[in-house]
């Protein structure tokens, strides 16, 4: 009786499964065709097996979210015929995952690494150094980024960047700046860049590192810190509710939407543009055909409506760079980090 | 609409059939996750996060978010119920909040009262869950405002008090307990310091950058240590384990536990509200408090039912309290709530000051579902108690290999490194020798967990004050905590030569 009742359901499920299975096959062959037609990757048959995306952080973090978005949308949009599985290798502020990827996956073209600025910084800094950096892997593309911001509590006396910088210059020991990660991390270095570019000795600036941007935000709201350096995505709700005021965003131009009246660093006279980027990397010495494959598909991914909706909802900003542009960008960032770490005596 | 209307609306969401199903699946998985050593609530929630996304794919965004969060929250507090099981039966805390439960829980199991211990944890957890929910509904906003005022100086003082309180009250010798605490603090310094950014005791080995994992050390010290002890000390294996005469707690047990459960629910809830401190400190404090005010403090550590009821109640109440900063401020107070925050964001819901306004159905549905879930857990756990209590009858020759297998599997599943397996073995050997010589293990593992927080907050407080130590006395709360902590050490020394009369007077003060 019960079985009879469920029979139509079972049948329809199996039919649907069968059909969707066919759909996948056709779409993947179509995929292969487009690759061949474009001529870039005529000789590579890629991917032939499931792809592993190594994430150097635990589940739930920013890089993890980027990897899961990549994995989900690449298959939903039928861009990559093989599944992308996410492998979390947390520890050492990304140094463990980086070492693992650079040494154990270096011969496996079916692997990806999802990283952010520590990919460069860890390789440069003196303490907690990672022996591997972006030169030990192949940059494939930057898919989106978060923007560094400087914020104060709503009732703070600082209404703009100018008054804040003036006070910081006069009494650096009076002002504490809180951030969600330790010294030598991006939260710390953006403030140091600000100090350096405003003619303040970065070593005199009081920076207090917390375990995560949530804790740092708490200390700002609880008046245990005067200003907060963090990424935009975690703080938009507090700006909307009026609890927090952003003094400056590190984007080249003003943002759109709710945050259109927040000024940039540049327009307030500080030449500071900083993205907390999310990048996709492949193993070292990757076949140029496969690099071409990722260039094409990452571009298609970032141009899709689904992707744009997803990152807009999380408060990230788009900004796709292909493998060549991304490599150049990383080289520029390396120079910038090297300089500021040098001034802080934190360079290896 | 007032709070009551919102709550009723929440129940309407929670009683949708798919949400009842999700709540049940959540608490069931949570119980399993809690029982297995190694896989704590944090990993359980993280592992299930992608699965919930596909399960709820067909629903509208708002409904999908409510259902997914109901499931994940179920795992969270379900694991808190289940977490006591290994502490009681195998002397192995699966997470730091269950460390205190091993003290009396395992002794009760050895005396053939495993059933009573498990049952009282389930009952205590249920009461705590309900108390915390009422607290959440009535006090969320004012408490969150107090919690964010807690600065580095207050945290430092609270951690000092927590550590000293535990070390002063477990084991036979305070000196040994303090030695263990210092060892734990020392082990906690391994890794990259969060405040100064310098690498300590890492020898340029990346696997050490993030420090020694609590899980590995705790499972090694407690579980493997116990296995080595049982194996090496043959006579204890031959001794007949006390027969289980009765699975459910007696009337006297219930009477003894009633007040500890009530007190620990309230205490646990309030400590849970503080971001970061949470369940571990709550369970330690409640144990210490019960021992302190007990008429028979000598019973503690030998299988006192209050010693199980108090910490297990407190850690569940703290889990409820920890939701307050998450829901009202968007600030996760623990690793598990951080992952739940990720779940909110995955459904395009930003936890924060606007959450209750923008998504009342999701929040109130979640809160209402926790009433349902807690009831399910009580019903689910009482029959399970009988099953688990029988585990203790498993012959040692089967039980020991099983514990080793679970320990190795659990640690590797979470850490993914062979380094942690080596560390597990080393910790096991140390655990054996330490407990053989009456060195209490809880101060060591608690110091390992709290040490980095203690140190970071000390550094932050001193950075704030430009190196002036007076900051700890200028902040009134911090000063009070530190004075109590000082008394904790000084009073017992002072009392050694004094009569009981003075002791009573001081305790009353």
* Closest to B413 measured CA to CA, from B26, B85, B405: B405
Tokens 């200390």 belong to which residue? A219
pLDDT of residue A136: 93
Q: Give me the pLDDT at residue B505, please.
A: 60
Among B181, B195, B232, B250, smallest CA distance to B447 is for B181
Q: Of B428, B387, B377, B431, which Cα lies nearest the Cα of B407? A: B428
pLDDT of B317: 92
Dihedral, B143, B144, B148, B152 alpha carbons, nearest 10:
60
Chain A residues inside the 8 Å CB shell of B346: 65
Identify all chain A residues contacting B141, using CB atoms and an 8 Å cutoff: none
From B199's Cα to the closest Cα of chain A, the distance in A is: 5
Q: Is residue B245 very low, low, confident or very high in pLDDT (cuts 50, 70, 90)?
A: low
Q: Do A182 and B196 touch (CB under 8 A)?
A: yes
Which of B197, B215, B334 would you mutate first to test chain A, the one with the most A CBs within 10 A? B197
E strand or H helix at A276, and its extent? strand A275-283
Q: Name which of B491, B257, B150, B148 is nearest A243 in CA terms.
A: B148
Greatest alpha-carbon pair distance for chain B in Å reads 72
User: Tell me: the pLDDT tens digits for B300-324?
Assistant: 888 899 999 999 999 899 988 888 8
Please state the length of chain B. Answer: 509
pLDDT at B5: 87
As a whole number, mean pLDDT of residues B458-470 equals 91
Q: Pairing state of beta strands A111-115 and A51-55?
A: parallel
Q: At what angle do helices B61-90 and B99-110 cross, to 10 degrees?
A: 50
CA of A37 to nearest chain B CA: how many angstroms apart? 35
Element (H, E) at B88: helix B61-90
Interacting residues of A121 by C-beta distance below 8 A, sequence separation 6+: A184, A185, A186, A189, A337, A341
Q: Which residue of A has its CA nearest to B43?
A: A59
Which residue in B has a C-alpha nearest to residue A216's C-alpha?
B331
Q: What is the pLDDT of residues B402-435, one digit of tens each?
A: 888 888 887 887 777 889 999 999 999 999 999 8
The proportion of chain A whose per-residue pLDDT surpasses 90, expressed as a percent, equals 47
Q: Closest-CA residue in chain A for B48?
A: A59
Which of A20, A53, A54, A59 has the highest number of chain B CBs within 10 A, making it the mutation to test binding with B?
A59
Cβ–Cβ of A224/B464 closer than 8 Å?
yes
pLDDT at B242 over 80: no
Q: Which own/partner contact pairs does A188-193 have at CB distance under 8 Å and 24+ positions apart?
A: A188/A229, A188/B197, A189/A121, A189/A337, A189/A340, A189/A341, A190/A148, A190/A150, A190/A229, A190/A250, A190/A272, A190/A274, A191/A150, A191/A229, A192/A340, A192/A343, A192/A344, A193/A272, A193/A274, A193/A336, A193/A340
pLDDT digits (tens, 9 = 90+) for B362-406: 989 999 999 999 999 999 888 888 888 777 777 778 878 888 888
Burial class (CB in 10 A: 0-12, 13-18, 19+), B397: exposed
d(CA B227, CA A337): 51
For the cut 80, the answer to whether the pLDDT of residue B113 exceeds it is yes
The residues near B133 (Cβ < 8 Å, ≥ 6 apart) are: B320, B367, B370, B371, B374
Residues of chain B contacting residue A215, judged by C-beta atoms under 8 Å apart: 275-276, 331
Nearest one of B1, B26, B20, B85 to B360, comparing CA atoms: B1
Q: Looking at beta carbons, which residues of chain A come within 8 Å of B354? A: 237, 240-241
Residue in the structure block whose two tokens are 């593309």? A141
User: Nearest-CA neighbor of A141 among A291, A342, A312, A9?
Assistant: A291
Contact A83, A75 (CB under 8 A): yes
Q: How far apart are CA A301 and CA A143, in angstroms?
A: 9
Q: CB–CB of A184/B197 below 8 Å?
A: yes
pLDDT tens digits along B70-89: 999 999 888 888 878 888 88
DSSP string, A7-63: HHHHHHHHHHHHHHHHHHHHHHHHHHHHHHHHSTTTT-----S-EEEEESS-TTSHH
Minimum distance, in Å, between the CA of residue A299 and any CA atom of chain B: 23
Distance from CA of A313 to the nearest CA of B (A): 6
A60, A125, A222: residue with CB nearest B342: A60
| CB-based contact B36:B410 (threshold 8 Å) | yes
Contact state of A218 with B353 under an 8 Å Cβ cutoff: no
Contacts of residue B184, Cβ cutoff 8 Å, sequence gap at least 6: B443, B444, B445, B446, B447, B448, B451
- What is the reported pLDDT for B276? 63
- List the single best residue of B205, B207, B209 to mutate versus A (max A Cβ within 10 A): B209
Q: Give A289 to chain B, closest Cα distance, Å.
A: 32
Position B204 scores a pLDDT of 78
A182·B463 Cβ contact <8 A: no
Q: Does position A302 have pLDDT exceeding 90, yes or no? A: yes
- Asked if residue A216 lies in contact with residue A119, where contact means CB atoms within 8 angstroms, the answer is no
Which residues of chain A does B146 touch, with a Cβ-Cβ cutoff of 8 Å? Answer: none
Distance CA B442, CA B464 (A): 32
Contacts of A139 (CB under 8 A, 6+ apart): A279, A281, A323, A326, A327, A330
List, as ranges, residues 123-152 from B with C-beta within 8 Å of A.
Answer: 148-152
Q: How far apart are CA A96 and CA A294, in angstroms?
A: 25
Contacts of A240 in chain B (CB under 8 A): 354
Chain B, residues 191-250, CB within 8 A of chain A, namely 192-199, 202, 204, 206-210
Put simply, the answer to whether A59 touches B46 (Cβ < 8 Å) is: yes
**Which 3 state secondary structure label does DSSP give B197?**
coil
Higher model confidence: residue A348 or residue B122? B122
Residue B95: which domain range?
3-508
ipTM comes to 0.74
pLDDT-based confidence at residue A30 (cuts at 50, 70, 90) = very low
The residue whose two tokens read 């900004």 is A319
Sort out which chain B residues have CB atoms less than 8 A from A94's CB and list them: none
What is the predicted pLDDT for the residue at A214? 77
A39: distance to nearest CA of chain B, Å? 37
Contacts of B205 in chain A (CB under 8 A): none
* Contact residues on chain A for B456, CB-CB shorter than 8 A: 211
CB pairs under 8 A between A and B: 139
Residue B239 pLDDT class (50, 70, 90 cuts): very low
Q: Say if residue A78 is exposed, middle or buried (CB neighbours under 10 Å; 0-12, 13-18, 19+).
A: middle
Predicted pLDDT of residue B502: 55
* Cα Rg of chain B (Å, integer): 22
Q: How many CA atoms lie within 13 A of A268 on its CB side?
A: 26
CA–chain centroid gap for B420, Å, is 22
Residue B260 near residue B290, CB atoms below 8 Å: yes
| Residue of A182, A218, A241 lying closest to B331 (CB–CB) | A218
Min Cα distance A312 → chain B (Å) is 10
CA dist B272 and B275 (Å) reads 7
Of B307, B304, B303, nearest in space to B288 by CA: B307
Domain count, chain B: 1
Region class of A91: left (phi > 0), else alpha (psi between -120 and 50), else beta: left
Cβ contacts of B356 on chain A, cutoff 8 Å: none
Q: Which CATH number fits domain A147-268: 3.40.50.2300, 3.40.190.10, 2.102.10.10, 3.40.228.10?
A: 3.40.190.10
Contact A125, A188 (CB under 8 A): no
Fold for domain A51-145+276-343?
D-Maltodextrin-Binding Protein; domain 2 (3.40.190)
Cα Rg of chain A, angstroms: 23
The encoded tokens of residue A42 equal 């005529």
Q: Which residues of A touch B192 (CB under 8 A)?
A: 92-93, 127-128, 182
Return the bridge partners of A280, or none.
A114, A141
Q: Which residues of B touch A236 (CB under 8 A)?
A: 350
Looking at per-residue confidence, does B235 or A91 come out higher?
A91
Percent of chain B with pLDDT over 90: 25
pLDDT by residue (tens digit) across B204-225?
Answer: 787 887 788 887 898 889 888 8
The residue of chain B nearest to residue A221, with distances taken between CA atoms, is: B148
Strands B191-192 and B199-200: antiparallel
Cα separation values, A154 from A236, A247, B417, Å: 14, 11, 45
Q: Nearest by CB to A243, which of B332, B341, B353? A: B353
Query: What is the distance between the terminal CA atoms of chain A, rounded to a whole angstrom?
Result: 74
Check residue A284 and give its pLDDT: 92
Q: Decide which of A11 and B229 is more confident.
A: B229
- The residue assigned the tokens 């942690």 is B420
Does B209 sit within 8 Å of A241, measured CB to CB?
Answer: no
- Check A127 against B194: CB less than 8 A apart: no
Residue of A130, A182, A221 lying closest to B197 (CB–CB):
A182
Residues of A in contact with B208 (CB under 8 A): 92
- Residue linked to tokens 């794919």: B57
Partner-chain contact A92 B192, CB within 8 Å: yes
A164 Cα to chain B: minimum distance (Å): 17
- Spatial CA neighbour of B423 closest among B206, B209, B221: B221
Q: In the prediction, which pLDDT does B274 show?
A: 77
Q: Which carries the bigger pLDDT value, residue A89 or residue A335?
A: A335
Among B205, B206, B334, the residue to mutate for chain A (most A Cβ within 10 A): B206
What stretch(es) of chain A map to CATH 3.40.190.10?
147-268
Sequence-distant (≥ 6) Cβ neighbours of residue B390 within 8 angstroms: B244
- Chain A residues with CB inside 8 Å of B329's CB? 218, 221
**DSSP letters spanning A138-198:** EEEEEEEEEEEEEEEETT-S--SHHHHHHHHHH-GGG-EEEESS-TTSHHHHHHHHHHHHT
Closest-approach residue (CA) in chain A for B194: A182
pTM, full prediction: 0.77
């Amino acid at each position: 009786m019960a079985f009879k009742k469920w029979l139509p359901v079972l049948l329809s499920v199996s039919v649907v499964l069968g059909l969707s299975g066919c759909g996948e096959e056709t779409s993947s062959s179509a995929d292969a065709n487009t690759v061949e037609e474009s001529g870039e990757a005529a000789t590579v048959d890629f991917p032939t097996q499931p792809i592993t995306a190594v994430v150097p952080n635990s589940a739930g973090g920013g890089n993890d979210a980027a990897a899961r978005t990549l994995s989900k949308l690449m298959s939903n949009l039928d861009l990559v015929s093989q599944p992308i599985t996410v492998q979390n290798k947390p520890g050492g502020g990304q140094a463990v995952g980086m070492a693992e990827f650079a040494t154990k996956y270096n011969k496996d073209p079916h692997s990806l690494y999802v990283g952010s600025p520590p990919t460069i910084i860890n390789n440069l800094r003196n303490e907690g150094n990672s022996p591997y950096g972006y030169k030990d892997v192949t940059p494939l593309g930057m898919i989106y980024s978060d923007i560094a911001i400087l914020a104060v509590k709503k009732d703070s006396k600082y209404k703009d960047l100018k008054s804040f910088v003036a006070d910081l210059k006069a009494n650096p020991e009076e002002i504490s700046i809180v951030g969600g990660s330790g010294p030598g991390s991006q939260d710390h270095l953006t403030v140091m860049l600000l100090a350096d570019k405003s003619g303040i000795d970065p070593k005199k600036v009081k920076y207090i590192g917390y375990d995560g941007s949530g804790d740092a935000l708490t200390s700002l709201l609880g008046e245990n810190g005067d200003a907060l350096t963090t990424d935009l995505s975690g703080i938009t709700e507090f700006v909307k509710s009026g609890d927090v005021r952003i003094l400056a965003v590190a984007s080249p131009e003003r943002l759109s939407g709710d945050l259109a009246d927040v000024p940039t660093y540049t327009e307030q006279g500080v030449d500071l543009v900083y993205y907390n980027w999310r990048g996709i990397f492949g193993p070292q010495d990757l076949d140029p055909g496969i690099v071409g494959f990722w260039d094409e598909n990452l571009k298609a991914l970032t141009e899709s409506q689904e992707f744009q909706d997803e990152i807009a909802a999380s408060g990230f900003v788009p900004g796709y760079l292909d493998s060549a542009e991304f490599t150049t960008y990383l080289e520029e960032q390396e120079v910038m980090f090297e300089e500021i770490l040098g001034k802080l005596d934190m360079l290896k | 609409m007032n709070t009551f209307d919102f709550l009723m609306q929440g129940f309407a969401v929670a009683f949708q059939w798919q949400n009842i199903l999700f709540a049940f699946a959540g608490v069931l998985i949570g119980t399993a996750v809690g029982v297995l050593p190694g896989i704590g609530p944090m990993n359980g929630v993280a592992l299930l996060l992608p699965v919930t996304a596909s399960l709820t794919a067909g629903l509208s965004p708002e409904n999908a978010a409510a259902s997914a969060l109901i499931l994940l929250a179920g795992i969270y507090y379900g694991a808190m119920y289940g977490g006591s099981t290994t502490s009681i039966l195998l002397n192995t805390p699966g997470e730091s909040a269950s460390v205190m439960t091993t003290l009396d829980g395992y002794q009760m199991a050895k005396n053939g009262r495993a059933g009573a211990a498990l049952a009282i944890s389930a009952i205590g957890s249920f009461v705590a869950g309900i108390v915390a929910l009422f607290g959440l509904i009535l006090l969320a906003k004012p408490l969150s405002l107090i919690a964010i005022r807690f600065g580095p100086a207050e945290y430092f003082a609270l951690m000092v008090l927590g550590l000293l309180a535990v070390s002063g009250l477990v084991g036979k010798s305070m000196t040994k307990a303090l030695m263990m605490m210092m060892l734990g603090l020392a082990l906690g310094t391994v890794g990259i310091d969060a405040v100064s950014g310098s690498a300590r005791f890492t020898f340029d080995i990346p696997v050490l950058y993030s420090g020694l994992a609590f899980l590995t050390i705790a499972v090694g010290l407690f579980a493997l240590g116990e296995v080595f002890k049982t194996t090496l000390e043959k006579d204890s294996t031959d001794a007949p384990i006390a027969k289980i005469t009765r699975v459910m707690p007696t009337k006297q047990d219930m009477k003894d536990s009633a007040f500890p459960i009530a007190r620990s629910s309230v205490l646990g809830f309030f400590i849970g509200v503080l971001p970061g401190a949470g369940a571990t400190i709550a369970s330690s404090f409640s144990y210490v408090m019960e021992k302190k005010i007990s008429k028979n403090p000598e019973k503690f550590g030998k299988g006192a039912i209050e010693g199980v009821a108090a910490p297990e109640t407190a850690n569940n109440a703290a889990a409820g309290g920890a939701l307050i900063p998450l829901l009202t401020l968007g600030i996760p107070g623990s690793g598990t709530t951080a992952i739940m925050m990720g779940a909110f964001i995955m459904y395009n819901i930003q936890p924060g000051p606007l959450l209750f306004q923008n998504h009342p159905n999701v929040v109130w549905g979640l809160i209402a579902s926790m009433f349902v879930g807690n009831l399910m857990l009580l019903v689910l756990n009482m029959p399970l108690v009988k099953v688990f209590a029988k585990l203790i009858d498993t012959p040692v020759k089967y039980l020991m290999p099983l514990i080793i297998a679970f320990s190795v599997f659990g640690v590797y599943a979470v850490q993914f490194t062979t380094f942690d397996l080596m560390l597990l073995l080393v910790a096991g050997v140390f655990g054996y020798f330490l407990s053989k010589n009456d060195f209490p293990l809880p101060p060591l593992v608690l110091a390992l967990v709290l040490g980095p927080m203690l140190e970071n907050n000390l550094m932050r407080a001193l950075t704030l004050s430009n190196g002036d130590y007076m900051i700890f006395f200028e902040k009134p709360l911090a000063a009070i905590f530190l004075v109590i902590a000082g008394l904790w050490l000084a009073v017992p020394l002072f009392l050694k030569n004094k009569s009981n009369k003075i002791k009573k007077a001081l305790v009353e003060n």
